[in-house]
Amino acid sequence: DGGITQSPKYLFRKEGQNVTLSCEQNLNHDAMYWYRQDPGQGLRLIYYSQIVNDFQKGDIAEGYSVSREKKESFPLTVTSAQKNPTAFYLCASSPAGFGQHTGELFFGEGSRLTVL
């Protein structure tokens, strides 16, 4: 079945450690996104990529990094510079380009990161 796979589902990290969250899609979508979800704050955009080898900062990019070396993959690294990394992280994908998009993002099941 086509979809988006995020791993790991749960992750614990000590302060000062970097951690990488995986996101893989087999929907042949050009665009991929990372959102952070905190209780009562909805989803906030961290980074997005409209095409391979290109990505842009979203609203809350500080302390995060990404890469987009393959169309299928968009890993997110939470660095030690992120002041409050404990959150639920959601990856999404969609077709890109004007006229192609319907506004529907396809989401993975999320990764919950807890900093100890």
Closer of 16 and 99 to other proteins (Cβ): 99
SS (H, E, C) the chain: CCCEEEECCEEEECCCCCEEEEEEECCCCCEEEEEEEECCCEEEEEEEEEECCEEEECCCCCCEEECCCECCECCEEECCCCCCCCEEEEEEEECCCCCCCCCCCEECCCEEEEEC
Cβ at position 80, least distance to other proteins in Å: 27
Closer of 44 and 80 to other proteins (Cβ): 44
Footprint on this chain of other proteins (rule: CB under 8 A): 4, 31, 35, 40-45, 48, 90, 92, 94-98, 100-105, 107-110
Closer of 32 and 115 to other proteins (Cβ): 32
